Structure 1
Amino acid sequence: MSEVTKIFPSDTRAIKEVSALLEQEGIRLDRNLDYISAIRDDDYHIIATGSMFHNTLRCFAVDHRHRGEGLLNTIVSHLMEQQLLRGNLEVFLYTKPASARFFHDLGFYEIARVEGRLVFMENQPQGFSRCLQRFQDETAAFLKNRKQTLDGSSRTAAIVMNANPFTLGHRSLIERASRENDLVHLFLVSEDASLFPFAVRRKLVTAGIAEFPNVCLHASGPYIISNATFPSYFLPDDDTASIGHAELDLTLFGKIAAALGIRRRYVGEEPFSQVTDRYNQVMREKLPALGIECCVVPRLAVNGRAVSASDVRQCIKDGEWEHLQTLVPPATYDWLKSGDAAGVRRRIAATPDVRHH
C-alpha cells in the first residue's frame, strides 16, 4: 500500500482525487507543479500526495484515516530521490505552519514564514546564511575597491530587477536611486527562466551601470524572486498569481535588507504585468512594516508610452529595430544586433507571446 506512483496531468480522475485530498487540509492544488506523486490504498483510492516544482516540494496531504502510518515520510523520500535525479542538491519546501516541525525532523530547516499561511524551508542548514554572507562579502569588496566607507548615517538602497533585457527604463530607475543614495544594491534575478539567459542579462546590466560608481551588482540567488520563492513571477499574467508568494519573497528580502543595512527599495510603476503590479502592491504594504521605505518611481516614457522590456522583446520579434533603438542603451542595442545574440533572436522569433517571458 505504500508504493508511490507518479500522477500524470492527463489522469484527470487522479488529479481530482489529489485536489480533493488537499482541500481536506485547506490546501489548493498549486498551479506551479511539474511532478505529482501519490500513494493509493488497496481499493486504489489516493490516500497521500506530495508534489514538486523545479527544486521545491509542495502540496502535501495525507488522508486523516491513514495518519501515523509513515506515508508522508515515504512521499518526501520519493520526492527527494526525484530531486537527486534532477541533479538538485539544494531543495526547498513549502508547508503549513502546523507541519513545519514534522519536516524539520525530516532534515529541513526553516528560512522564513508568512504567519498563518506558509513556512518556507530548505534542506541545507546554512544555505540562507551562506547567501547573506556572499552579499556581505561582495559589498565589502565593492566598497574597498572604491575606497568608500559607510556609517550609520549612510543612505543604502536596493533594486531588484530581471532586466530581460536591460532598457533605458531600468537605467532611469538606477540613475535615480544612485543619485539619492550613498550605496545601491542591485540584485539581478539569476533564475534562468527568461528569454535572455542570466549571463547575457548580467553582461548588459554591467555595461549599463558602469557610469554609476555607487551601484553594487549581486546575482540574486535562490532567495530573491526565484522559482523557489516566487514562481508566479515567471508565469503568464492571470488571477492565480499568489500573494502568498509575494509575501514570502518580501519576508526573505527583509532579512537580506537587515544584513546589508538597506533602508529603501526602489521599484518602477508597473502598467503592463499583472503579476508584477500585484507584487508592487504587496511591497508597498509590507516593506514599511519591515522598516524599509518603498520608493515607487514613474516609468520612463518614450512617445507617451512607458518603456518596458516586454516592448523591447516585441520589437525584436517584429523586426522594429528603429523603435527598439529608442528603448535601450547603446550597449544593449549593439549586443542585440550582434552575432552573439543570434540564439536569443531565434528564441524570441519562435515564442508566440514574448511579453510574458
Structure 2
Amino acid sequence: MYDLKLQKINLKDYNERQEVNEFLNKFDLILDNDVDYTIVLRDKGNKIAATCSKAKSVFKCFAIDPKLQGDGITSKLITDLINKSFEEGVYHNFIFTKPKNIEIFSSLNFKLIYEVEKVALLENGVYNINNCLNNLIKKNNINITQKKSAIVMNCNPFTLGHKYLIEQASKQSEEVLVFIVQENKSLFPFDVRYSLVKKGVAHLRNVKVVPGTEYIISSATFPSYFLRKEDERLQAYTKLDANIFGEYFCKKLNIVRRFVGEEPYCNVTREYNKALKNQLYKYGIELEQLKRKEINDTIISASKVRELIRNNEIEEISKFVPRVTLEFFNTDKGKEIMEKIKYSNSPH
C-alpha cells in the first residue's frame, strides 16, 4: 500500500479521463460525466491500481485492483474525498454502491439509508435522513398526526397541469404536501420553481409546498456509474427512490396517498410511476394516477412550455401556464431564463 502514489486526475484532459475509464471498464464501471474530482492510486509501474470520484456530495466510480482489496485502500480513497469535500464546505456525503460493499463502507462510518437488489445508498456527515425530516417538520410546521397526501414535482416551469394536479389532490385530501425537487439541474432554478408553486397554490389552504430535500429525485439516488444498461439503471433508481419515500417520508410524515399524473410520453417518468405503485403498496400507501390536463387535445407539460419558448411562440404560452408563471416571464430574471432556453438543447 505504501508503494502506491496518489494522483489527482485532470478531468479536462481526454487521455487522463480515458485511462481512468479503461481501468473502470475492467470492473464493468464507467466514469460519469458529472464527476468534478477524480483520484487514482498508481503502482510502481505507474499503472492505475485504484480510483474513486465525486460529483458534488456524491462519492462514486470506486474500483480497486482485486490484489489490493482488503488492504486499507478504500479508507485511503474515502479519506481523500472527504477532505476534498471539507475544502469545498460540504460536510454531508452519499455513497451509492453495490450491496456487497455495505459492510466496507459501514466500517468507515457510513450509515445505510436503503438497499434494493442491485444498489445501496449510504450517507455520512453532520446530519442524516431522520435529522433532515425532523427539520422539515419543524421548519414547515407539519402536523404529523394528520393523514396526508403527497405530490413530488419538478415544475420546470410551473404549468396549469401542475396546478390542476395539486387542486385535484387538495379536493380529495385532508392535507397535501407538495415536494419540489431540490436538485438544481433544471433550466429553472429551485428557488424560482419553489416560489412559483408556492404563490400559484396559495389559495389552497390545505396545501403545503416544501423542498424535496436531497432524498427525493436527486443525483444522490441515481446509480448511473455502475449499472451499465439503461433499463437496469432506471429500475434501480426508481425502486430505491420509491422505497426511501415509503420507508422514511411516508412513515415520518403520516403520508397515506401519493398523487401522480399519467405519463404518455416520457419513459423515465412512466417507469417511475410503475415503481411507485409496486413499492408503495407494501407500505400501505395508495398511488392515485390522474389523467393529465389538456388544452385543445394537447397535454399540458413543462416540456411543451419550453418548446414554445424555444420557438418564440410567446402568445401560445399563456394557454399552458398560470398567471404567476406568466408574470415571472416578464421579470428580468424570467427573461434571462427564457433566453437561455432558446439556446439550450437540454431536455430539463
Could you tell me the TM-score, scaled by structure 2's length? 0.89
Q: Give the conservation status (yes or no) of the 8 Å contact 2:151–2:176.
A: yes
**Inter-partner Cα distance in structure 2 for 1:38 and 1:90:** 22
Task: Kindly report which structure 2 residues correspond to 1:285-304, keeping only aligned pairs within 5 A, or say none.
Answer: 285-304=278-297
- Does 2:153 correspond to 1:161? yes
Secondary structure at the aligned position of 1:221 is classed as: coil
Q: What is the match of residue 203 of structure 2?
A: 211
1:271 positional shift: 2.6
How many pairs are equivalent? 335
Q: Distance in 2 between matches of 1:89 and 1:113?
A: 23
Residue among 53, 65, 79 paired with 1:63: 65
Alignment match of 1:196 (pick from 188, 196, 215): 188
2:245 alignment partner, SS class: helix
> Could you tell me how far apart the structure 1 residues matched to 2:257 and 2:31 are?
32
Distance in 2 between the 1:290 and 1:39 partners? 44
- Map 1:240-259; keep pairs closer than 5 Å: 241-254=233-246, 255-259=248-252
From 10, 14, 23, the equivalent of 1:10 is 14
2:322 aligned residue: 329
8 A Cα contact 1:61 1:72, kept in partner: no
1:260 and 2:226 are equivalent in the alignment: no
Give how far 1:2 is off. 2.2
Query: d(CA) in 2 for partners of 1:231 and 1:315?
Result: 33
Q: Distance in 1 between matches of 2:304 and 2:223?
A: 22
Q: What's the secondary structure of 1:134's corresponding residue?
A: helix
1:267 to partner: Cα distance? 0.6
Paired with 2:8 and 2:86, the residues of 1 have a C-alpha distance of: 16
Superposition RMSD in Å: 2.2
Task: Look up the match of 2:307.
Answer: 314
Structure 1 residue runs of 5 or longer lacking an equivalent are 144-148, 233-237
The residue matched to 1:123 in structure 2 has which SS? strand
In 2: Cα distance, 1:348 partner to 1:327 partner: 17
Q: Does 1:129 pair with 2:104? A: no
1:146 match? none
Match of 1:270 among 253, 263, 274: 263
Q: Which amino acid aligns with 2:7?
A: T
Whole-angstrom distance in 1 between the partners of 2:332 and 2:44: 60
Shift, 1:347, TM fit: 1.7
Q: Distance in 2 between matches of 1:241 and 1:314?
A: 28
Checking the alignment, whether the CA contact within 8 Å between 2:24 and 2:61 is kept in structure 1 is: no
Q: CA deviation at 1:48?
A: 1.5
The 1:347/1:30 distance shift into structure 2, 3 A limit, reads: same
Taking structure 1 as reference, are residues 120 and 299 closer, same or farther at Cα in structure 2, changes over 3 Å only?
same
SS in 2 for 1:194: coil
Any conservation in 2 of the 1:29–1:59 contact (CA below 8 Å)?
yes
Q: What letter corresponds to residue 102 of structure 1 in structure 2?
A: I
Partner of 1:109 in structure 2?
111
Amino acid at match of 1:176: Q
| Contact 1:159 1:184 (8 Å CA) reproduced | yes
Of 335-344 and 250-259, more deviation after overlay is shown by 335-344
Summarize the Cα distance change of 1:4–1:134 in structure 2 as closer, same or farther, 3 Å threshold.
same
Call closer, same or farther: CA 1:231–1:53 in 2, change over 3 Å: farther
Alignment correspondent of 1:19: 25
Tell me the secondary structure at the aligned position of residue 208 of structure 2: strand
* Residues 161-212 of structure 1 deviation map (CA, whole Å, 9 limit, x = unaligned): 0111100000111011100110111111112111111111111101111121
Name the counterpart of 1:80: 82
Larger RCO, structures 1/2 (Cα 8 Å, 6+ apart): 2
Q: Which residue type is aligned with residue 286 of structure 1?
A: Q
Q: 1:124 to 1:170 in 2, by over 3 A?
A: same
Q: Which moved more, 1:87-96 or 1:196-205?
A: 87-96
- How far apart, CA to CA, are the structure 2 residues paired with 1:203 and 1:55? 25
SS of the equivalent of 2:220 reads coil
Matched-pair contact (CA < 8 Å) for 2:24–2:31: no
- Structure 2 contact 96–223 (Cα < 8 Å) conserved: no
Q: What code does the residue aligned with 1:339 have? A: D
1:342 aligns with 2:335: yes
Counterpart amino acid of 1:215? V
Question: Which residue identity lines up with residue 50 of structure 2 in the other structure?
Answer: A
Task: Determine the C-alpha separation between the residues in 2 that align with 1:341 and 1:72.
Answer: 46
Q: Which residue of structure 1 aligns with residue 227 of structure 2? A: none
Q: Secondary structure at the match of 1:228?
A: helix
1:119 aligns with 2:112: no
Aligned 1:174-193 pairs, distance under 5 A: 174-193=166-185
Give the direction of change, closer, same or farther, for the CA distance of 1:243–1:6 in structure 2 (3 Å limit).
farther
Per the alignment, do residues 203 and 125 of structure 1 end up closer, same or farther by CA in structure 2, a change over 3 Å counting?
closer
Between the aligned residues of both structures, percent identity stands at 33
